[in-house]
A and B are shown apart, each in its own frame.
Chain A
């Protein structure tokens, strides 16, 4: 039965973090166990029975459903909180860059973004009255997963693109025309290192998008929920 648990874990891998999903997972597992036990009792070898049981439920996408009613206020709160955290990380990490010409603008703009997110977050915390926290909005889970995937793909594309661009900029003439690369000191080296490393920081954006589907499922109100008005 070990492998059944593993199989169900895999089925639910991308849907984690809500009580409703967790319960569905237990239900699916116990039903699969019952089925396997039944097939074995009928004289089927265990691995054969496992295979048959699994074949009946190749995916749970259709069960989980696309549209979810989500408690919008705590959802946005947590999303902003995460955004603020990532913004602060970006701001702190790029602080040493203030000594470079453009670095100071980057630092200021990241700081401004943090302040902005922080203000919106505080305002939302302020209106945390019980009636508004029960407000529901419909959200599409599949779209959120798609957004997350697209975010990662665009980021990968961007990163590879800047990587190639930087390489061509600094080492292109060396590669094509065998002009020697001039690194006259630690400052020049650091300039190149920063140009390579800076795009990596943008990984925080897809990371932020990555959290959306999880939060949708976390603040899912469930279909049958009746909210006291």
Chain B
């Protein structure tokens, strides 16, 4: 249990980027975004709904994504999200900085035998 809470703490700071990545593959609505993330993680990570809405709201207010209402013939209308040009740029930037951070953190916290 504590394992999963530690990793979700680390993931939390990257939820925006994770959602941007999903939306870069195509427009999508809330529940499908959660499902796509679940699938991308091979079933190891499920994004909670409150975090999803908070993140979508933040992304939209920063104009990284835009939303529109779908025209479903049956059931409730779905709100779809689409990544904007600024959103794609932000995603690429976040990806690049993550790679740098990942390499650095690996260096910093992984114990290795001195050769």
Which A residues lie at the B interface, using CB under 8 A? Answer: 1, 23-24, 26-35, 37-38, 56-57, 59-60, 62-63, 65, 223-224
Contact = CB atoms under 8 A, between A and B. Distances in A.
B63 A33 contact: no
A26 B50 CA distance: 15
Contacts, number: 60
Contact-residue size bin, chain B (C-beta under 8 Å from the other chain) = 20 to 34
Interface string B48-77: 111001100100111100000000100111
B9 to A, nearest CB: 16
- What are the 6 tightest A-B residue pairs by CB atom distance, in nearest-first order? A30-B76, A223-B61, A34-B31, A31-B30, A224-B61, A31-B31
Contacts of B50: 57, 59-60, 62-63
Interface of A is mostly: helix
A63 B77 contact: no
A38 B35 contact: yes
B49 A27 contact: no
Given A28-B53, A57-B49, A224-B63, A33 B75 contact: yes
Nearest to B48: A56
B85 interface: no
B43 to A, nearest CB: 13
Contacts of A26: 76-77, 79
A30 B79 contact: yes
Contacts of B57: 63, 65, 223
B60 A30 contact: no
B76 A23 contact: no
Contacts of B79: 23, 26-27, 30
16 contacts: A1-B75, A26-B76, A27-B53, A27-B79, A28-B53, A30-B75, A30-B76, A31-B29, A31-B49, A34-B29, A56-B49, A60-B53, A62-B50, A63-B57, A224-B61, A224-B62
Contacts of A65: 54, 57
Nearest to A20: B57
A34 B78 contact: yes
B54 A63 contact: yes
B89 interface: no
B32 interface: yes
B23 to A, nearest CB: 15
A38 B61 CA distance: 30
Given A57-B49, A63-B50, A29 B60 contact: no
Interface centre among A29, A35, A63, A223 (most CB of B within 10 A): A63
Nearest to A23: B79
B78 A63 contact: no
Contacts of A24: 53
A34 B32 contact: yes
Contacts of A63: 50, 53-54, 57
Contacts of A224: 60-63
